[in-house]
Amino acid sequence: MTLAPKDVSYVRELVFDRSAIVLGEDKQYLVESRITMLARDLGLGSAEEVIARLKRDGDRTLEERVIEAMTTNETSWFRDVHPFNALKSVIIPEAMERNAAKRSLAIWSAACSTGQELYSVAMMLDSDFPELSSWKLDLVGTDISRKAVEKAQSGLFTGLEINRGLPATMLVRYFVRDGSGYRIRDDIRNKVRFGVLNLIEPWPPMPLFDVILLRNVLIYFDMDTRRRILGLAKQQLVQGGVLILGGAESVLSLVDGFVPVTIGTTTVYHKDKENV
């Protein structure tokens, strides 16, 4: 059933107000299909009933479910490969040299979805940098979706999810069978922590990070929101720390204080020590 234009507009405005995610005029089918699926999950008869309940009750939990339904939790293991090559070859070694005295390393996956990105980082650090076993590691993942964060915390993935980019050697080394799925080893899961964070709302106290992965997130926001989030991310980096964005994203013309550096085929952004 097709939603009335006023109902589609209501959802678009709600999502923008609560998350700053822009759902363009061309997203009507996405809104209809995902609200319909949510209605089924909630045991309601139609998408119209979901919207009527939103308008009538002002239910913040339901609003959160709607925003989660509209959020694209697209992810995979070692996604796009090249940023992980940059981490392994240059970024992590430089951070280790910079932090040799304090022997600590902090990395934030700022839109972690169901956790594959941060777990990929944790496995890479364990596999390729054994000297970090005696360091203090702070590996943090946050996402707007509570459901995604809960799955990340579980460390349990289906066979289909495992097959999205995970090398066989990593599967054998870092996962155990759990029913029909696979669970990441406890020693890796215990190295990371996940939490819910809406990037447009006030950020909680967090450590300064050596690396922030903010990949394929800015594309969903308008320019003002991008500037605000990038400014906050810059404040959350140590001097000389590195911001990694998606391949189609850039800080250029949005915020000062970053120096683009190309590593292989990946461009990352160093927080400029001279312009903080």
Q: Domain 82-271: give its CATH superfamily.
A: Vaccinia Virus protein VP39 (3.40.50.150)
* Strand order across the 266-271 sheet: 192-196, 136-143, 104-109, 209-214, 237-245, 266-271, 258-263
Query: Is the model's pLDDT at 276 over the cut of 50?
Result: no
Residue 73's pLDDT band, with cuts at 50, 70 and 90, is low
Compute φ and ψ for 29, nearest 5 degrees: -65, -40
Q: What is the pLDDT of residues 222-263, one digit of tens each?
A: 899 999 999 999 999 999 999 999 888 889 888 899 999 999
Distance (Å, rounded) from C-alpha 251 to C-alpha 257?
9
Domain 5-70 architecture: Orthogonal Bundle (1.10)
C-alpha span between 243 and 251 (Å, rounded) = 10
Asked if the model's pLDDT at residue 275 lies above 50, the reply is: no
Render pLDDT for 136-189 as a digit per residue (tens, 0 to 9). Answer: 999 999 998 888 999 999 999 999 899 888 899 999 999 999 999 999 999 999
pLDDT of residue 87: 96
Give per-residue pLDDT as tens, 21-68: 777 777 777 788 888 888 888 888 788 888 888 788 667 788 888 887
Equal fold, 5-70 vs 82-271: no
Q: Is the pLDDT of residue 92 over 90?
A: yes
What is the pLDDT at residue 130? 94
What angle do the packed helices 5-19 and 60-70 form, to 10 degrees?
Answer: 100
* pLDDT for residue 273: 58
Give the domain ranges of the chain.
5-70, 82-271
The per-type count for the chain, helices as H runs and strands as E runs, is 12, 10
Q: Residue 186: what pLDDT? A: 95
What pLDDT sits at residue 272?
81
Report, as an integer, the average pLDDT of 2-28: 79
Q: Is the pLDDT of residue 201 over 50?
A: yes
Residue 265 has pLDDT above 80, yes or no: yes
Residue 254, token pair as written in the block: 């949005």
